[in-house]
Structure 1
């Protein structure tokens, strides 16, 4: 089967920038990564990761290009096929390219179709918009930061060493 994806640059401008890509369901996420980078004009030399996403575009499990994790069970793109993470019930991924620039793309499975005879895959079906010279800046709302700070509000005073439960002469 062939997966048809729309890959959208997540930016805060009015201009939509996206690519429609066809790829075999049993191709790896590394194959998909290479196709995305080529279709947007990147050289593909930077670190990248896919993240499983829900319907609200919340970032879930990471599948990275290289093993940079301390976790023994970290998933890698070259070991993960598209149909392992995307299917009719799970249609969204977030793709981040170049962790310094943070090019962020919303990836959605649009359709699953039969393979067309005589078509080479992966196949760039449609191009809309030109990628800017620099990655769009991520803007965080004050409410987002308040939620983040509330999540880690543990009432510790970082300057109050007396109340911490450890032996400062452990060495």
Structure 2
């Protein structure tokens, strides 16, 4: 039997967005990248994975395009690295940078490991909540029924006073 990693993926653009994925430990980062794009219904794009510390600081980079110039300083290619080579412990983290120019990313954390189920197909999405942020425009949501965060709903009540300069600020 083979080992399966379970990841939780979050976005800093939509507080309600959550995806839980299960992937084989020997899956390449490039195959995981392709699976994430398909899961989010994104078009193919250049991207990078970064290992991250417990404060989400980027560490080692893995790119979707080979960038090795022979100097030894270039990031590793996703196609040559498996999840099991970069993920070792529960709560290990990856940053998935899907918009290189906009510096937009998803945050993945290993939430568990277990033996693969007989007859199950991996990788797979096991949980999805809220629409994914638009691939190209962070100000757009991809679904009309996505209400955004609870914080946004509560704060919208206070927008009635925006732009109203008739109040005297001196008390």
TM-score, normalisation: structure 1: 0.71
Task: Tell me the distance in 1 between the aligned counterparts of 2:24 and 2:31.
Answer: 10
Output the CA distance in 1 between the equivalents of 2:91 and 2:122. Answer: 22
CA distance in 2, matches of 1:89, 1:6: 12
Greater shift in the superposed pair: 96-105 or 106-115: 96-105
Partner in structure 1 of residue 96 of structure 2:
95
User: Residue 100 of structure 1: CA displacement?
Assistant: 2.7
Is the contact made by 1:96 and 1:102 (CA closer than 8 Å) also made in structure 2?
yes
After the TM superposition, which parts of structure 1 deviate over 2 Å for at least 4 consecutive aligned residues? 68-74, 100-103, 132-137
Gaps of 5+ in 2: 140-171
Matched, 1:74 2:75: yes
The two structures, once aligned, show a CA RMSD in angstroms of 1.9
Q: SS at 1:87's partner residue? A: coil
- Say whether residues 1:5 and 2:14 are aligned partners: no
After TM superposition, list the pairs within 5 Å mapping 1:35-114 onto structure 2: 35-44=35-44, 46-68=45-67, 70=69, 71-72=71-72, 74-88=75-89, 91-114=92-115
Q: Is the 8 A contact 1:54 1:90 kept in 2?
A: no
Please, what TM-score do these two structures have when normalized by structure 2?
0.71
Give the match for residue 138 of structure 2.
136
CA distance in 1, matches of 2:91, 2:66: 24
Q: Which runs of 5+ in 1 are unaligned?
A: 138-171
